[in-house]
């Protein structure tokens, strides 16, 4: 057989496999969770929307119930709309449901399965996660509060205090107090990225276009796209990965090569910088990698160092885009709800006063600020369908079969917009929590994941978001951006699609509440960008 036709048996095998699955699964279809009718071979591939699938799955739930089954080219997918069912399976039966599905494109070809966030549930996963869990445990995160609030205490004057949220607010306020800027999301994204890099590697950003920052941002965009089910057919017909490059439709292979190189660069470059500069005094301490590398009682083996490299990459990837998503959602929600801004500012002024900025240590005494943050997480969870789990064996739940290898997708968005749990769920209404931590915890227990896959950096993420929200509300009014005619542009509460979502582009202005507020920001900010 000539090489020009060598791919035909591969495609035939893929089609045959899909037909075989359809025939076999048809015999047990009545035991599967309900769902829309499938077609031969392609299953439900034609029915799964590419835009905001969480909303579509929410609507499907009205017809099929809180646990649904679909398949795409033979790949079983179980969608869960119920918090109870999600906890019954992902928490109470964690030994079965702690695995991750195998993404051929994102994991095998690009390499996103190397960090523990997307790794299979195995010993390598446990060792990587252990490295992160200790450093970002609730008792250890206060060491980073100063960085999150105001910036670095590093004595080098040209580098001191360049990364904190107060500096961000000061920059935007100085630019927008008497004028306006169109779209500050880029600056916000970079400033949050700086914090994550410093905590993970102790790296000082050289500029907003520093490749050590921009490369991971691009890699995270690729991650969000490549892990969205349905974007790449090779995830459902793995044999396609062997297609020759000249075959039409094989362009995903060249894409995977580019993305893989970019992802590995984004992972190794900051780690190598950290390791090289540990003894030079250029790194900000403490940081995750330096703490482990400088452990006087244990020198890392080559295998342990590799685990550290990928564990650090998980911190970077897990904290970068999700924090940005929540921060941008906060700004958008405040533009649309000026009365909430004023109520929050009044609480800060009553508790903290006017002579200093709020700190993360003030958090217990600012219940309304905490309620706003919780409502941000509820109204727009950064990962609305959670990172999918995978069933490691066949399981029966309430008489329904969940086949081994099923991709399990908890619809977090639906759970947080269930009108029985959250009346008028589309309304941004912090008062729904009555300033009760027990009610707020119900939201956080969903948005940070389930069971053994819960986010180990959740306490750090909460601190960063609190610093953003409290500092901004204490010092600035968040106003709509202006159009070319000087009229306010009121944005819509709309979001992008993908594994990680963001508000669609909008404009805003930050106006300092007073000269005293600007003075407080100036104390912890440098005067020049």
Q: How far is CA 25 from CA 21, 40, 45, 237, in A?
A: 6, 11, 16, 17
Beta bridge partners of 482: 488
Q: 157 φ, ψ to 5°?
A: -65, -35
Of 145, 164, 136, the C-alpha closest to 361 is 145
Beta bridge partners of 289: none
- 298 Rama class: left (phi>0) / alpha (psi -120 to 50) / beta: beta
For residue 386, say whether it is annotated as part of any ligand binding site: no
Q: 436 φ, ψ to 5°?
A: -100, 120
Before 286, cis peptide (omega within 30)?
A: yes
Bridge-based pairing of strands 407-410 and 75-80 is parallel
Bridge-based pairing of strands 508-512 and 476-482 is antiparallel
Sheet-wide strand order for 75-80: 67-72, 75-80, 407-410, 389-390
- 525 Rama class: left (phi>0) / alpha (psi -120 to 50) / beta: beta
Q: What is the 3-state secondary structure (H, E, C) of 296-331?
A: CCCCCCHHHHHHHHHHHHHHHHHHHHHHHHHHHHHH
Return the DSSP state at 492.
Answer: P
Say how far apart CA 225 and CA 366 lie, in whole Å: 37
Query: What ranges make up the beta strands (E) of 51-99?
Result: 67-72, 75-80
Say how far apart CA 448 and CA 445 lie, in whole Å: 6
Say how far apart CA 314 and CA 458 lie, in whole Å: 13
| Beta carbons of 347 and 368 less than 8 angstroms apart | yes
| Beta carbons of 463 and 319 less than 8 angstroms apart | no
Say how far apart CA 9 and CA 104 lie, in whole Å: 20
**What is the end-to-end Cα distance of the chain in Å, rounded?**
64
Say how far apart CA 506 and CA 494 lie, in whole Å: 10
Binding positions for heme are 455
Binding positions are 455
């Amino acid at each position: 057989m000539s090489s020009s036709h060598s791919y035909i048996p591969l495609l035939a095998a893929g089609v045959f496999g899909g037909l075989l699955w359809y025939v076999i699964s048809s015999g047990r279809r009545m035991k599967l969770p309900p769902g829309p009718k499938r077609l031969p071979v392609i299953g439900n591939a034609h029915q799964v929307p590419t835009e905001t699938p969480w909303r579509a799955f929410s609507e499907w739930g009205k017809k099929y119930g809180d646990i649904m089954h679909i398949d795409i080219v033979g790949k079983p997918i179980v969608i869960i709309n119920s918090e109870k069912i999600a906890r019954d399976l992902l928490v109470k039966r964690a030994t079965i449901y702690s695995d991750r599905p195998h993404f051929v494109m994102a994991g095998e070809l690009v390499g996103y399965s190397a960090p523990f966030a997307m790794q299979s549930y195995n010993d390598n996963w446990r060792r990587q996660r252990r490295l992160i869990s200790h450093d970002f445990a609730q008792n250890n995160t206060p060491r980073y509060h100063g960085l999150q609030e105001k910036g670095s205490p590093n004595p080098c004057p040209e580098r001191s205090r360049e990364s904190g949220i107060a500096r961000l607010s000061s920059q935007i306020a100085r630019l927008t107090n008497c004028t306006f800027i169109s779209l500050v999301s880029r600056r916000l994204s970079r400033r949050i990225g700086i914090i994550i890099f410093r905590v993970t590697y102790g790296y000082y950003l050289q500029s907003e276009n520093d490749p050590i920052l921009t490369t991971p941002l691009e890699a995270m965009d690729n991650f969000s796209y490549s892990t969205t089910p349905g974007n790449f057919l090779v995830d459902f017909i793995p044999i396609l990965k062997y297609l020759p490059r000249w075959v039409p439709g094989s362009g995903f292979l060249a894409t995977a090569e580019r993305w893989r190189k970019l992802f590995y660069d984004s992972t190794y470059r900051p780690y190598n910088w950290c390791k090289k500069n540990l003894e030079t005094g250029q790194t900000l301490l403490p940081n995750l990698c330096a703490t482990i590398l400088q452990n006087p009682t244990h020198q890392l083996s080559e295998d342990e160092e590799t685990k550290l490299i990928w564990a650090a990459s998980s911190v970077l990837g897990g904290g970068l885009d999700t924090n940005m998503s929540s921060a941008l959602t906060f700004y958008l929600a405040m533009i649309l709800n000026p009365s909430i801004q004023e109520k929050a500012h009044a609480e800060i002024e009553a508790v903290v006063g006017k002579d200093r900025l709020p700190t993360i240590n003030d958090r217990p005494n600012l219940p309304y600020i905490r309620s706003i943050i919780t409502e941000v997480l509820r109204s727009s969870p950064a990962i609305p369908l959670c990172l999918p789990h995978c069933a490691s064996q066949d399981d029966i739940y309430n008489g329904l079969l969940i086949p081994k290898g099923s991709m399990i997708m908890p619809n977090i968005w639906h759970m947080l917009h269930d009108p029985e749990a959250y009346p008028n769920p589309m309304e941004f209404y912090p008062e729904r929590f009555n300033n009760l931590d027990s009610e707020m915890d119900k939201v956080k227990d969903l948005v940070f994941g389930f069971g053994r896959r819960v986010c180990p950096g959740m306490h750090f993420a909460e601190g960063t978001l609190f610093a953003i929200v409290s500092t901004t509300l204490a010092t600035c009014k968040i106003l709509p951006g202006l159009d070319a005619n000087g009229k306010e542009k009121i944005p819509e509460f709309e979001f992008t699609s993908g594994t990680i979502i963001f508000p669609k582009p909008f404009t805003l202005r930050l106006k300092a509440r007073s000269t005293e507020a600007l003075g407080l920001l100036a104390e912890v900010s440098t005067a020049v960008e």
